[in-house]
Each structure stands twice: as structure tokens, then as C-alpha cells.
Amino acid sequence: MPPDQPSGPPTDKLGDQRPDRPVLSGLIALVGVGLVVGLVLGGVALGAVSVLGLGGDDGGSGRSSDQQAFYLPKPQPTDEPDGPLITLAPEPGGDGSASAEPSESATTEAAEDEISLSAGQASVTPMQQIDLTGVYTGGEGAILQVQRFADGTWVDFPVTASVSNEMFSTYIQTGQLGENKFRVVDTSTGLESNEVTVTIG
């Protein structure tokens, strides 16, 4: 007779562990999904922080230092420096330039009242043309009378010249032998030019 066998359904050693495996697998899956989701959310959070610059103190300080390096203050006029400069500039200039201004104006007036005459030829034959040219600063439109020095006095020569663009030119002819001195005189003001000497002969 065969040995007694335990009553009940047959059992399997592996069969006792099968109900536990799906639970363990589920737990492992949940932990893995949690890790993945955590990593993804952490990456998104770090990206948002770097883009928005919320937690970057170094980056923020770098930006502020860059902005401060390129910051230029807007110039604003101040009344205090302008006042003394305007007041002080005329005073030294007034003492120094007050005496200088009259001399400058006098020099300018003297230059404007000056008639400069020159002869185109130093010596000519009798009745050869003698070119007279010159500059009369400030004498625009003036009529100049040519004069010749004879017998110790200046005598009008029958030739005149008009000033245009502060310049004049004319010519004369004479048969008077020897050295002849010529000049021009403003018929309105009587202002005389320098003398020029031309030898005839």
C-alpha cells in the first residue's frame, strides 16, 4: 500500500511566490516612474531658473557690473560755474583786451585807410606806358587821382583810377626825362598812397 500522502491540493514552492511578484514589480515601476518624473521636473525647474535669472546671483551681479561699466551720466548744465566764467572772462580780457582792442581796431582802421601803390616798370623810354596798380582796403568805389611830383610839389596828372574789389589799376605816359615820382590820392577823403619812382629816358 502506498505511503500516506497529505490530503489537499498539491502545492508548488514557486506557486507560493507568484502572488508576491506582481506587487514587487509594481513597486519597482512606481519608484522608477517617480525618479524619472522627479528628474524631468528638476531639469525643467533648473532651466526656468537659468532663463528667468531668479537664482543666479553671480549672473545678476555680472549684468549689473556690465551695466555700470557702460553707464554714462547725462550732462546737466549748472548755473554756478557758468556765472563765474562769464563774469571772470570779461574782467581779465577787459583789462588786457581793453588796451588791446583799441590797438587792434586802430590797426584795422589804419589798414583800411591805407592805399598801396606799385609801378609795373622801374624805367621806361619817353612816352612808354607805365602800369600803376595797387590795393585800397576799405575803399570800394573810390576814385583815385594820379599825381606827379614836380618842382617841389604834387601836381595832378590827367589820369584817374577807380577802386573795384579793393583793387585799382591804370597806366600813364610821360616824356619828362629823369626820375619821376608818382602817387594816387583819394578824391573824396584826400588819403594819399605811397610814392613810386620811375626813371624816364
What's the whole-number average pLDDT of the chain?
Answer: 75
Which pLDDT belongs to residue 15?
46
Query: Comparing C-alpha atoms, which of 148, 152, 156 is closest to residue 181?
Result: 148
In tens, the pLDDT along 130-150 reads 999 999 998 899 999 999 999
Res 201 pLDDT > 80: yes
The arithmetic mean of pLDDT across residues 59-82, rounded, is 58
Q: 39-48, 85-94, 158-167: which range is least confident on average?
A: 85-94
Q: Which residues of 126-164 are buried (b: 16+ CB within 10 A; e: fewer)?
A: eeeebebebbbbebeebebbbbbeeeeebeebebebebe
Whether the predicted model's global pTM rises above the 0.75 cut? no
Confidence of residue 100 (pLDDT cuts 50, 70, 90): very low
Helices (H), the chain: 13-17, 20-52, 57-69, 79-88, 90-112
Which pLDDT belongs to residue 30?
84
Query: Comparing C-alpha atoms, which of 181, 170, 175, 161 is closest to residue 124?
Result: 175
The arithmetic mean of pLDDT across residues 35-57, rounded, is 74
Q: In the chain, what are the domain boundaries? A: 115-200
In tens, the pLDDT along 149-175 reads 999 999 999 999 999 999 999 999 999
Confidence of residue 110 (pLDDT cuts 50, 70, 90): very low
Which pLDDT belongs to residue 14?
47
The arithmetic mean of pLDDT across residues 176-182, rounded, is 94
Which pLDDT belongs to residue 80?
60
Higher pLDDT, 108 or 35: 35
The arithmetic mean of pLDDT across residues 97-120, rounded, is 64
Phi/psi for 60 (5° steps) reads -65, -40
CATH of domain 115-200: 2.60.40.10
Amino acid at 120: G
Label the pairing between strands 178-186 and 167-172.
unpaired
Res 190 pLDDT > 80: yes
